[in-house]
Amino acid sequence: MRVVVGERHGGPEVLRIEEREAPRPGPGEVVVDIAAAGVNYMDIYQREGLGSYRTQPPFVPGGEGAGTVAAVGADVTSLAVGDRVAWAGPGSSYADQVALPARRVVAVPDGLSLQLAAAAILQGMTAHYLSASTYPVREGDVAVGHAAAGGFGLLLTQMVKRRGGIVVGTTSGGEGGEKAELALRAGADHVVGYDRFREIVDEATEGVGAHVVYDGVGKDTFDDSLAALRPRGMMVLYGAASGPVPPVDPQRPNAGGSLFLTRPTLGHYVADTEELRWRAGEVFDWIGKGELDVRIGGTYPLAEAARAQDDLASRRTVGKLLLLPGV
């Protein structure tokens, strides 16, 4: 089978295709034929050796995908060959096949394509926990969502709106163009460039500030995101697309009005199988009912993983990017 291998840490050129022996399921595992693998910023962080995402080369990137069970371990009774499943978290998904813990995969409902499942499982559950658990959005809350036209941003906007929030979305294209149109279509109440979101928050709240800022950009937006919050508002720093945020003086949240600052990660919000399947189940149910729109912004052959990551990092894309091993 084919896998994408990172030989060292660095730019996209470190990724290459390699032939390996097909995996066999160990105790508690299933082997899955991968139909689609999601491309995410954390894959780029891993390739670059950034912080907690640093992995010893050689490594196979990818923490998200969907496919069909090809083999099960002798002690696995919850899944069978032919079952359609999706996963988020276990690594090595840039491949034709992957071995996964059976307790960390979820069933894909009939009628939902494997491409949509792969596009929604990680980012959908992330948007779910951020809007429902990290900061549970209430009716009338003002929420800033950066990169609102990306695959994740579009899902987060829809989930904040489901809970009655008011969304101020930012895009690299500002108020005009395709990105702004996509964010507005997803339900954003305001869409502006990164240089104007504080102004719009002030107008929308009469100078009081946002209840929450969901910031996956990091270094370039962090200071303005903190400044956009009202007293006792919450800064949710869930990523670092522009680079890691420098160390923060604990007095800064105090000076801003007893602010809350959190750096969450999905793994802590799907800590057990029950929680994992609850979040994934709600996301898949909303998609199936037409209540959550998932936009696939581009698909790439497995051999073009480096180009997919480069396109994502350059912000040239909208929606979710997928690798298709069978292409």
Task: Report the CATH number that the domain containing residue 103 is assigned in CATH.
Answer: 3.90.180.10
Check pLDDT > 80 for residue 315: no
Residues above pLDDT 70, as percent of the chain: 100
Summarised one tens digit per residue, pLDDT across range 274-307 is: 999 999 999 999 999 999 999 999 999 999 999 9
Q: Do residue 148 and residue 257 come from a single domain?
A: yes
Angle (CA) 157 180 126, round 5°: 25
Q: Do residue 30 and residue 105 come from a single domain?
A: yes
Is residue 128 included in any domain, yes or no?
no
Is residue 150 included in any domain, yes or no?
yes
Summarised one tens digit per residue, pLDDT across range 214-257 is: 999 999 999 999 999 999 999 999 998 888 899 999 999 999 99
Is residue 190 included in any domain, yes or no?
yes
d(CA 286, CA 278): 12
pLDDT of res. 326: 81
Q: Which pLDDT band holds residue 175 (cuts at 50, 70, 90)? A: confident
Is residue 275 included in any domain, yes or no?
yes
Contact 132, 157 (CB under 8 A): no
- Where in the sequence is the domain holding 181, given as residue range(s)? 139-263
DSSP state of 43: H
Check pLDDT > 80 for residue 321: yes
Check pLDDT > 80 for residue 172: yes
For 104, residues 6+ apart whose C-beta sits below 8 A from its C-beta are 87, 89, 90, 273, 276
pLDDT of res. 41: 87
Question: Which amino acid, residue 120?
Answer: A
Q: Do residue 235 and residue 160 come from a single domain?
A: yes
Summarised one tens digit per residue, pLDDT across range 97-140 is: 999 999 999 999 999 999 999 999 999 999 999 999 999 999 99
Contact 28, 76 (CB under 8 A): yes
Check pLDDT > 90 for residue 82: yes
pLDDT of res. 275: 97
Question: Which amino acid, residue 12?
Answer: P
pLDDT of res. 189: 98
Question: Which amino acid, residue 252?
Answer: R
Q: Do residue 280 and residue 223 come from a single domain?
A: no
Handedness of CA 45, 47, 50, 52 (dihedral sign): positive
Higher pLDDT, 149 or 129: 129
Question: Which amino acid, residue 179?
Answer: K
- Across residues 76-98, what is the average pLDDT? 94
Check pLDDT > 90 for residue 53: no
What pTM was computed for the model?
Answer: 0.93
For 233, residues 6+ apart whose C-beta sits below 8 A from its C-beta are 209, 210, 211, 212, 213, 257, 259, 260
Strand spans (E) along 222-267: 229-237, 260-262
Check pLDDT > 90 for residue 147: yes
Is residue 316 included in any domain, yes or no?
yes
Q: Do residue 194 and residue 302 come from a single domain?
A: no
Strand spans (E) along the chain: 2-6, 15-19, 29-39, 64-72, 84-88, 97-101, 105-107, 142-145, 166-170, 190-192, 210-215, 229-237, 260-262, 296-301, 320-324
Is residue 127 included in any domain, yes or no?
no
Helices (H), 49-83: none
Check pLDDT > 80 for residue 144: yes
d(CA 311, CA 301): 14
Check pLDDT > 80 for residue 52: no
Q: Do residue 171 and residue 254 come from a single domain?
A: yes
pLDDT of res. 55: 85
First and final C-alpha spacing in the chain: 14
Contact 27, 16 (CB under 8 A): no
Summarised one tens digit per residue, pLDDT across range 26-50 is: 999 999 999 999 999 889 988 988 8
d(CA 60, CA 95): 8
Number of domains in the chain: 2
Query: Which of 226, 245, 263 is the C-terminal boundary of a domain?
Result: 263
Residue among 265, 245, 304 at smallest CA distance from 53? 265
pLDDT of res. 49: 86
Summarised one tens digit per residue, pLDDT across range 57-69 is: 899 999 999 999 9
Contact 147, 186 (CB under 8 A): no
Q: Do residue 178 and residue 285 come from a single domain?
A: no
Is residue 235 included in any domain, yes or no?
yes
Task: Report the CATH number that the domain containing residue 252 is assigned in CATH.
Answer: 3.40.50.720
Residue among 107, 48, 74 at smallest CA distance from 244? 48
pLDDT of res. 2: 96
pLDDT of res. 203: 96
Q: Which pLDDT band holds residue 318 (cuts at 50, 70, 90)? A: confident
Handedness of CA 35, 36, 42, 44 (dihedral sign): positive
Q: Do residue 116 and residue 194 come from a single domain?
A: no
The two structure tokens encoding residue 46: 């891993």
